[in-house]
Structure 1
């Protein structure tokens, strides 16, 4: 398979976004000729904000986060965009994933949109506007850690790459088992880990083509997997096949938690991946009676903050406004959620009560976050 990118057509990008969103396309330049203004936050917080705003469909916040991250981290933003496209859009819009990879890998294509700044703002708005599917994240989390997949990990880890590919192609195997086999067949370790031996990424891409996954999506997956080394990318072709092999999936509009702003920054940006977010969630676990009671009943004391951080992530940072509803999507989400919550010290029986307690007390969490943010900025 060649790694040469196909011809770029700006009109295709514009037509694609218009057809999906039903709205005019913005190039990232405001009506007065200026670019979106920068946000007064550090690069860790803006990384978080960019991804969460895209999930929620908060297009203008996403555009401001994009130009801020570009100003702070430069070309690193393009790798970040590729990971977001696979993690949060995925099978929800395969076309958006493909075009995002093209734009991120070719500076000449970004010049056609006015340069890196306008291209970053445009891409943030674009990804915010299309339907999402977070199944890739759920599947790779389950493949790595869910106890129910230990047998699949043992099987995939004890056979040849050829046999792993055969497992992945077996239509009678559950999707999560096939995803585990695909991960092992790739040889792609999670950054900072060394769990897998040598794989065959090219062979895995050929296997995706055998499944009937569109060649452009397979190509984009190969490019992104090689550039980012993120195994989450490998899950999208499998999910696309599962989502589109039967009846055409629905696009479901869902409410997301109300966003509270401090200095124009939505507080949902301060999640478990940020210093302020971890501090605020730790206080919620201690100060909120319902959350504290749930943790004390179900979670060992030394894991309280880990459990609360993961629950807050699923309550406020993970929700998407427009998602793809396909047969098996709910089961995949449940499997990934269980994997993360179990890893944080929460028993299966306690997952739903803890998530419910945190969701019911997001106002309290936002009040804590607002207090810390204002104090940190010297405005409290």
Structure 2
């Protein structure tokens, strides 16, 4: 299905590196937190220039954040759409000695960022995590599995149980921290990946996910192998998401990468919540004060921040995206899509607040 791992002797990596000319790029006048968001949004949208400028910003200000975030991004946003690209980035983020053999930090960083930008995308693993973490209709399942022990979790994974239950079991058994949830005290990540092999997941994919988990200690590599069991064979359709108009802020940069993961983005969203808008009034009436910023951030992400170019379309991924759209806020809403439409309609006002950021 794909080359399981790239390393320093792999001809694929060597060929890409020999053909790649590292571009001359100037860093952006933004904080490392905004730069991480800008790099990820640039990769999602296939904006090579923006993603490279943000990567250079991180390389100059905080190299550790660059390599750690790249490893996370490739699993979150490329995922099953291009496992070769996932393997390439995980190899390139291996360490400075490895990168030195291919020309140094910037030649490798620019190669990885460009490959991720140009790649097909699949965000099914992230949509699955959001649904598992927040959808109110999964409260009973979350509670039941939280009481199970390690052997029961591993049995669900190895037995190829239903995707949602097996995925929750894998998260608990791995010991990973995920979306504020507490995992089982008795955890064995190695046993989880062994159970996935027993379930019939291709060994090379499990090995790749295991490496991603060791590198990032994040939840998404744990979920990736289980998703392959729902992946249909044959060619899958690919198309771009529908993007809202791009707004350029006073600093000359797009506003869409200012989100709740940076204090600049949080400040802009907080200012918006105080304005007299349909969304602001709805939030003040229906959402408790301490949760408003997080729920708004999640909504803005669903209508704008998580959009990608070259999205691979397949049935389970579409279902998971709908589950995440309807459940990220943890609320039981009569019309979940209307909630996102409300935020979408007020996006120009949100952009007004984000455009003030310098």
- Which range, TM-score by smaller chain? 0.7 to 0.9
SS at match of 1:324: strand
Cα contact 1:10–1:112 (8 A) shared by 2 = no
C-alpha distance in 2, partners of 1:106/1:203? 26
1:9–1:57 Cα change, 3 Å: farther
C-alpha distance in 2, partners of 1:356/1:28? 43
Aligned to 1:352: 337
Per-residue CA deviations over 1:281-304 (Å, capped at 9, x if unaligned) read 223333353323443564345644
Q: Which of 188, 199, 208 is residue 187 of structure 2 equivalent to?
A: 199
**Structure 1, unaligned stretches of length 5 or more?**
18-24
1:117 counterpart = 2:117: no
1:158 counterpart = 2:147: yes
Q: Map 1:93-104 onto structure 2 (within 5 A).
A: 93-104=82-93
SS at match of 1:29: coil
Cα contact 1:225–1:234 (8 A) shared by 2 = yes
Cα contact 1:341–1:351 (8 A) shared by 2 = no
Per-residue CA deviations over 1:317-353 (Å, capped at 9, x if unaligned) read 11112212112112211223334212xxx44335322
Q: TM-score, normalised by structure 1?
A: 0.83
Q: Which of 90, 107, 118 is residue 129 of structure 1 equivalent to?
A: 118
Deviation at 1:16, TM superposition (A): 8.0
Cα contact 1:62–1:121 (8 A) shared by 2 = no
Aligned to 2:135: 146
Q: Map 1:27-42 onto structure 2 (within 5 A).
A: 27=20, 29-30=22-23, 35-42=24-31
Cα contact 1:39–1:265 (8 A) shared by 2 = no
SS at match of 2:256: helix
Aligned to 2:278: 290
Cα contact 1:56–1:320 (8 A) shared by 2 = yes
Per-residue CA deviations over 1:253-309 (Å, capped at 9, x if unaligned) read 223223223334221121111222222222333335332344356434564433322
SS at match of 2:242: coil
Q: Which of 231, 238, 262 is residue 251 of structure 1 equivalent to?
A: 238
Q: TM-score, normalised by structure 2?
A: 0.88
Aligned length: 354
1:228 counterpart = 2:216: yes
Cα contact 1:281–1:312 (8 A) shared by 2 = no
Q: Map 1:282-361 onto structure 2 (within 5 A).
A: 282-287=270-275, 289-296=277-284, 298-300=286-288, 303-342=291-330, 346-349=331-334, 351-361=336-346
Higher mean displacement: 304-313 or 320-329: 304-313
Q: What's the C-alpha RMSD, in Å, of the aligned pairs?
A: 2.8
Cα contact 2:81–2:121 (8 A) shared by 1 = yes
**Structure 2, unaligned stretches of length 5 or more?**
none
1:302–1:188 Cα change, 3 Å: closer
C-alpha distance in 2, partners of 1:6/1:122? 14
Deviation at 1:11, TM superposition (A): 4.9
Higher mean displacement: 246-255 or 262-271: 246-255
Aligned to 1:363: 348
Cα contact 1:191–1:229 (8 A) shared by 2 = no
Deviation at 1:235, TM superposition (A): 0.9
Q: Which of 27, 50, 64 is residue 39 of structure 2 equivalent to?
A: 50
Per-residue CA deviations over 1:38-95 (Å, capped at 9, x if unaligned) read 0000111111111111111112211111111111112332121111111111112111
